[in-house]
Amino acid sequence: MRLPLLASVVALSLGVASLLAADTPAKPKAKAEAPKAPARFQNDGNPEHLKSPLLIKPDENVAYGPHRMQVMYFWRAKSDKPTPLLFYIHGGGWTNGDRSSVNGMLKEALAAGISVVSVEYRTIKDSTEDKVVPPVKGPMLDCARALQFCRSKAKEWNLDKTKVGAAGGSAGACTSLWLAFHDELADPRSEDPIARESTRLTCAAVQVPQTSLDPKQMREWTPNSRYGSHAFGIVGDAAKKQSSFDAFYDAREKIMPWIKEYSPYELVTRDDPPVGLFFGTPPNLGKDEKDPTHTANFGVKLKEHCDEIKAPCELVYPGAPNVVHANPNDYIKAYLRPELK
C-alpha cells in the first residue's frame, strides 16, 4: 500500500509544480538590439578623417588660410613643362562631404598631364560661427582664395596658371559655376601677393549643379524644390508649420541682392568660359522630381539662358541632343589639353 501512496504524493507534487510554473510569468526574452546606424560622416578638415580612401597619395597637403577647413590636397602631374590644373570642389550642400570625392577624376586627369587640387572650405556652420553674411559667402570666397593660392604656387608646383578648369558635384558644382561666371576678384593693388592673382577659369565641368539659388525659379522649374534656404541662413517656423523653403520663398524680395550675387544663373555673361553640365537623369520640367536638388531641370534652364545670350554651355543627360563630351573628364581634357585629340 505504500507504493500507491508514494505515487499519489509524487503526482500531486508534479501537478502543483506545473500549476506554479503556469502561474509564474515567463522570463522575458532579451530584446535584440537594433543595429546602430553608422555615424553620419562629419568633415573636420583632418586628412586622416576622410569619407573615402584616396586612390592616389597626394604630393602635398597644404593650408591656404588660417581656418582648419582652409586646406587642400595637391597632386603634381609628371611633365617637364608647366601643366594645366584641375581645381576640384567637393559637394555636400556646403555642410559636409570632403575632398576625397576627387577620386572619380583624379587618375584620368593625372594620366593626361593635368595636375590636380582638391579643396576644403568653411561650411555653412563654420561661416555662421564666423559671422559671415550670408553664410554661403564663406565657402564661395574660400574657394576663390584657394584658386588664387594655387596660382601663387605656379612656379613651385610647375603649373600653367592660364589653364585652370574647375569641377565638382552638387554644391561644389554650384561654386564652380559661381567662379566661372563671377567677375574677376583679384585686387591688383593689394599688398597681399595672393590677392593679386586671378580668379578666372579656362572652363568648368560640373555634375548635378544647382544653377540657381532663386526659390521662385526653383519652384517654377521643379515644384517640389526644397534646397537653398541654408545658404542664406533662413530657417522655417515649426509652430506655424512653415518649411525652410517656404520661409526662403517668402524672404525672396528681401534677399534678392544676395541671390543676384551668388546664383550662377544671375551671373553668366557671353564672355564667360565654357561650361559643361552633367546629369544622370533626364529633365522633367514643371513636375515634381524624385531628387529635386539634383534634377537636370537646373541644367535645361541654364542652357536655355546661355543659348539666349550666346554663352558657351554644353548640357549632358541620358538622351540629350548634341552631346560632344560624354563626361566631365572628357570635357576637362578637351579644354585643358586640346593637343591630346
pLDDT tens-place values along the chain, 341 residues long: 433 433 433 343 434 333 333 333 444 444 444 444 444 445 655 556 676 889 999 999 999 999 999 999 999 999 999 999 999 999 999 999 999 999 999 999 999 999 999 999 999 999 999 999 999 999 999 999 999 999 999 999 999 999 999 999 999 999 999 999 999 999 999 999 999 999 999 999 999 999 999 999 999 999 999 999 999 999 999 999 999 999 999 999 999 999 999 999 999 999 999 999 999 999 999 999 999 999 999 999 999 999 999 999 999 999 999 999 999 999 999 999 999 97
Contact present, 287 and 223 (Cβ < 8 Å): yes
Q: What are the angstrom distances between the C-alpha of 213 and each of 217, 262, 265, 307?
A: 8, 7, 8, 20
Residue 109 confidence (pLDDT): 98
Instruction: Report the candidate in 205, 200, 209 with the shortest Cα–Cα distance to residue 91.
Output: 209
Q: Name all domains of the chain by residue range, CATH numbers in brackets.
A: 60-340 (3.40.50.1820)
**pTM, full prediction:** 0.86
Contact present, 274 and 335 (Cβ < 8 Å): yes
Residue 38 confidence (pLDDT): 44
Residue 52 confidence (pLDDT): 82
- Separation of alpha carbons 231 and 226, rounded Å: 12
Cell reading at 228: 537653398
Instruction: Report the candidate in 169, 159, 146, 160 with the shortest Cα–Cα distance to residue 70.
Output: 146
Helices 171-181 and 137-152 pack at an angle, to 10 degrees, of 60
Angle at 276 between CA 98 and CA 43, to 5 degrees: 5
Residue 215 confidence (pLDDT): 98
CB count within 10 Å of CB 127 equals 26
- Give the strand pairing for 71-75 and 60-63: antiparallel
| CB burial readout 188-222, b (16+ within 10 A) else e | eeeeeebbebebbbbbbbbbbbbbbbbbebbbebb
Residue 280 confidence (pLDDT): 98
What is the SS3 assignment for the chain?
A: CHHHHHHHHHHHHHHHHHHHHHHCCCCCCCCCCCCCCCCCCCCCCCCCCCCCCCCCCCCEEEECCCCCCCEEEEECCCCCCCEEEEEEECCCCCCCCCHHHHHHHHHHHHHCCCEEEEECCCCHHHHHHCCCCCCCHHHHHHHHHHHHHHHHCHHHHCEEEEEEEEEEECHHHHHHHHHHHCCCCCCCCCCCCCCCCCCCCCEEEEECCCCCCCHHHHHHHCCCCCCCHHHHCCCCEHHHCECHHHHHHHCCCCCHHHHHHHCHHHHCCCCCCCEEEECCCCCCCCCCCCCHHHCCHHHHHHHHHHHHHCCCEEEECCCCCCCCCCCHHHHHHHHHCHHHC
- Separation of alpha carbons 87 and 84, rounded Å: 10
Contact present, 207 and 279 (Cβ < 8 Å): yes
- Separation of alpha carbons 208 and 295, rounded Å: 7
Residue 247 confidence (pLDDT): 98
- Name, in order, each residue with C-beta under 8 angstroms of 133's C-beta and a sequence gap of 6 or more: 233
Residue 257 confidence (pLDDT): 98
- Separation of alpha carbons 74 and 88, rounded Å: 10
First vs last C-alpha separation in the chain: 111
